[in-house]
Structure 1
Amino acid sequence: MSFHELGLSAELLRAVEALGYTQPTPIQQQAIPAVLAGHDVLAGAQTGTGKTAAFVLPTLQRLNQNPTGKRAPRALVLTPTRELAAQIGEDVQNLGRHLPLKHTVIFGGVGINPQIDRLRRGIDLLVATPGRLLDHAGQKTVDLSQVEVLVLDEADRMLDMGFIHDIKRVLALLPKQRQNLLFSATYSDDIRRLADGLLRDPVQVEVARRNTAAETVEQRIYPVDKPRKRELLSHLIHNGGWEQVLVFTRTKHGANRLAEQLDRDGLTAAAIHGNKSQGARTRALEGFKNGNVRVLVATDIAARGIDIDRLPHVVNYELPNVAEDYVHRIGRTGRAGAQGAAVSLVCAEEHSLLTGIQRLLKRELPRETLPGFEPSETAATAPPPQRQKPSSRRSRGLGGAPGRRSGARNRRA
């Protein structure tokens, strides 16, 4: 199938061709016609499957075909993080370059006045994080009464970050008659409940098995003592000639410390997390994309929105506390059919976390012990995955478990 067969306008096809895309991905093939037909959509797609274009292209076409002259936004895209909001805004700019539509992106961590100025000039499509959108709504600097299309992107992540109450507040400001599109990489029970309350007779699209890791990603476990993780990571990067590596830590402080240590090892590294200013986060990400930064150390939340087509290596320096986050992390590589590698450095204390990940994946991950880095502790070797249903903190309520990622910390993304 070609993009010409999806019913897209000549202007959008020109933009797609200029970006070098010739064939739509599976999520685009299924979602674009459904959105153009006016259906609500529930889409399950891993990152890197082309899901942003799957909702941006048909939404732009619908707005362009039915101009109203209204100065208020007619399409709203809600997304969990600043980086992802900025990436979607860039995609809207590229895909809509030949259309007379205006858009803007609003998120926290930057001044609100320039955003107010852009909103007052009038826009057709708005990309926003929930917290900053509610700031504008409270100041009456945005009018959501004309929204025709609502997109919730990475809805599972928004629930993880405690945004459910903010989402409900936003929904209360929107017209009842509208098209709703919900995109999520994983389908937890909470996502199902959110979809049931939001979507009307939706077309369901799923291009990957539930909660599965990309098949194009080679996964490997390296057992190692916790104090030697940084040394092993440097060894892998140097000896493997890895030129672009995304490394995940659990904490912001850990990300800073590891980036500084890797710099001392002769590897250009930068950290990206929620305590960094937006300018610092943008500079680190740009340096990583253009090759000036070899290793980008990130927390889970900050890494959302990192969109690099051929990122070759992802490293779990520390395993995530929640098994589903492992799928999100390694989905940064192996995108759009490209091959990628995901390496996890696992110490004895992470035995139970590895067990949970393998249970979710329903398979045992291959492991390799490097000479010179043999763990002296009881090896971090989790048993083969069992076939029982995995437990999930997401079953505890729409806001997720209290105490891990509180909405109070992350709400003003």
Structure 2
Amino acid sequence: MSFDTLGLHEALTKAVAASGYDNATEVQTQAIPPAMQGHDLMVSASTGSGKTASFILPALQRILAARGDNTKRRDKGVVYGPRVLVLTPTRELAIQVAKAADTYGRHVQGLRVATVVGGVPYPAQIKALRGPLDILISTPGRLLDHLQTGKAVLENVEVLVLDEADRMLDMGFIDDIQTIAEHVPAARQTLMYSATFAGHVGRLAQNLLRDAKRIDVASHTDTHENIEQRLHWADNATHKNALLDHILTERDMEQALVFTSTQRDADWLADRLAELGHSAASLHGGMPQGRRNRVLQGLRTRHLRVLVATDVAARGIDVPTISHVINYGLPMKAEDYVHRIGRTGRAGRNGLAVTLAERMDAGMIRRIQQFTTQDIPVSMVAGLEPKSPQPKMYAPRPEGSFGGKPSGGYKGDGKRFAKPFAPRRDMAHAPRDASPFDRRDAAPRNAFDRKPSEPGAFAPRNAGGGKPAHRPAGKPGFKPQRPRTGGFAR
């Protein structure tokens, strides 16, 4: 659908056209009209789908429509605060949203946009909060600091946007968000964007939204047709480093975003790649904001070829020239894999997402495949083939097969699976936020699992008095049965 048919102000359509966009994406087509009508929205959209414009454009439309009868907002010495408040989980995403607001609002006379994030000196932020302000983009923690000191005024907010709400809740911002919402007028319009609205995200939506329209234009089961996915099994860390070095020297590699699991790994790997001659740098939450800004600017200007980052720091990076995403360290949650690979293949380009996994990572690979209901094709590099046999992987579980529509081995009626999903040892390092059957399957080996000859073995208790079961006299072949500990066939 063309932007001209969405009912946007001429100043906005002109700015969109100048940015090189002719037609609206699916999320923009579905979200912009109801947002301009004042409806609350619950939107699920993948990265790179144009979701930022789907809430910035209606916000700018509201600002333009209200300019005539709200000139008093510009009274000198009176603080009215922002008309639109956008909350984001990370500083990088806040900066990206602010850039989009400036880009699409370039023809809006006197538009004032400010960002309030951590890692930046307070005086400049306080000055922006006390002056005329149309749109405020902030992370919850720093905005709460300004609220507690009375520097932030939110009494005139008309639109509240929660971008990547699921991520903000994962980072522990739920109390901050609720406190901020209490300072915003109850008659506001609320737009909530999240990958999922299940669990605590859904409960937060019930508390903050009124008669919200549900828009779901993306799913974690999307095939990502413009992103090629590969899985390389590595024997050890040395083998993994060799595979990474080979990928980074491929001729079709423009810029690469390499993900690590920890800040320490990001710094170490960036230093290693720099010593090998790559223009590489690290990016993580432990860095000062000024340095983070310089690193991102180097990535956008292509002075930086390889960026090594953690999940939190890479949230919101939108650089179309990123041709490769490499999972050097696997994510803590399966859904983060989808966000990671979404950093490439942007703006209509093709991208490559490579995962380097050791045998101990098999459990997470399995959960990723079950979450996306897709196999990650296994690939090998000539001369760097793994010497160890690759872990046995099972076909991805169809969506709805666990606790929903019957499919595969699970009958949905309380019966056990026809065959187990995975060996117990492969799931030994399942994270806490894994699904219930992952945690059960990943239970550590306890005393009941040991053989009778092993130290510390216990015999199971009988059903009578709870005393240990002993071998009955005269029956040398008797063997106590192991107690049932789960609902899987063993």
Q: Tell me the TM-score normalized by structure 1.
A: 0.92
Q: Secondary structure at the match of 2:273?
A: helix
Q: CA deviation at 1:378?
A: 4.6
Alignment match, 2:486: none
| 1: CA distance, partners of 2:26 / 2:212 | 18
User: Cα distance, 1:389 vs. partner?
Assistant: 3.3
Q: State the secondary structure of the residue aligned to 1:204.
A: strand
CA contact 2:254–2:322 (8 Å) conserved in 1? no
Query: What is the CA-CA distance between 1:311 and the residue it aligns to?
Result: 2.3
Aligned-partner SS, 2:257: strand
1:34 is the counterpart of 2:34: yes
Mean Cα displacement is larger for which, 281-290 or 42-51? Answer: 281-290
In the alignment, the residues of structure 1 paired with residue 161 and residue 224 of structure 2 have an alpha-carbon distance, to the nearest angstrom, of 24
Q: What is aligned with 1:154?
A: 164
Q: In structure 2, give the amino acid aligned to 1:41.
A: L
Other structure's SS at 2:92 match = helix
> Which moved further from structure 2: 214-223 or 295-304?
214-223
Match of 1:47 in 2: 47
CA contact (8 A) 2:45 2:195 kept: yes
Pairing of 1:88-107 with structure 2 (within 5 A): 88-100=97-109, 101-107=111-117
CA pair 348-240 structure 1, distance change in 2 beyond 3 A? farther
Q: Which of residues 388, 393, 396 in structure 1 aligns to 2:433?
A: 393
Partners of 1:339 and 1:172 lie apart in 2 by 43
TM-score (norm 2): 0.78
Q: Aligned equivalents of 1:187 and 1:240: distance in 2? A: 41
Residue number in structure 2 paired with 1:77:
86
Correspondent of 1:237 among 245, 248, 262: 248
Paired AA for residue 243 in structure 1: E
Structure 2 unaligned blocks of 5 or more = 74-79, 404-430, 437-490
Shift of 1:385: 1.8
The corresponding residue for 2:322 is 311
Question: Which protein is bigger by CA-based radius of gyration?
Answer: 2
Which residue identity lines up with residue 290 of structure 1 in the other structure? Answer: T
1:173 and 2:186 matched: no
Partner of 2:420: none
Count of paired positions: 396
Taking only the aligned residue pairs, the percentage that are identical comes to 46
Q: Distance in 2 between matches of 1:98 and 1:108?
A: 29
1:341 to 320, 342, 352: 352
Deviation of residue 102 (structure 1)?
A: 1.3
Q: Would you say 1:137 and 2:177 are equivalent positions?
A: no
Shift, 1:140, TM fit: 0.7
Structure 1 contact 150–178 (Cα < 8 Å) conserved:
yes
The answer to whether the 8 Å contact 1:186/1:210 transfers is: no
Amino acid at match of 1:341: L
Classify 1:202/1:392 alpha carbon distance in 2 versus 1 (closer, same or farther; 3 Å).
farther
Specify the SS of the correspondent of 1:368.
coil
Structure 2 residue 101 is the aligned partner of structure 1 residue 122: no
Q: Could you tell which deviates more after superposition, 374-383 or 34-43? A: 374-383
| Structure with more helix by fraction | 1
1:374-399 per-position Cα deviation (integer Å, ceiling 9, x unaligned): 32345245322234439982889xxx
Note closer, same or farther for the CA distance 1:394–1:80 as it changes in structure 2 (3 Å cut): farther
CA distance in 2, matches of 1:381, 1:294: 35
* CA deviation profile, 1:146-187 (whole Å, cap 9, x unmatched): 111000001111011111111111111111111000011334
213 and 82 in structure 1: CA distance in 2 versus 1, 3 angstrom threshold: farther
Taking CA–CA contacts closer than 8 Å with sequence separation of 6 or more, which of the two structures ends up with the larger relative contact order?
1
Match in the other structure for 2:483 = none
Pick which of 214-223 and 334-343 moved more: 334-343
Conserved in 1, the CA contact under 8 Å of 2:235 and 2:359? yes
Please tell me whether residue 292 in structure 1 is matched to residue 332 in structure 2: no
**SS state at 1:335 partner:** coil
Question: How far did residue 339 of structure 1 move?
Answer: 1.7
Q: Aligned equivalents of 2:402 and 2:346: distance in 1?
A: 28
Contact 1:250 1:299 in 2 (8 A): yes
Change (3 A) 1:206 1:215: farther
Which residue of structure 2 aligns with residue 223 of structure 1? 233
Asked if the contact 1:359/1:386 (under 8 Å) is kept, the reply is yes
Contact 1:352–1:382 (Cα < 8 Å) also in 2:
no
Q: Distance in 2 between matches of 1:186 and 1:212?
A: 14
Give secondary structure in 2 for the equivalent of 1:263. helix
- Structure 2: distance between partners of 1:330 and 1:176: 38
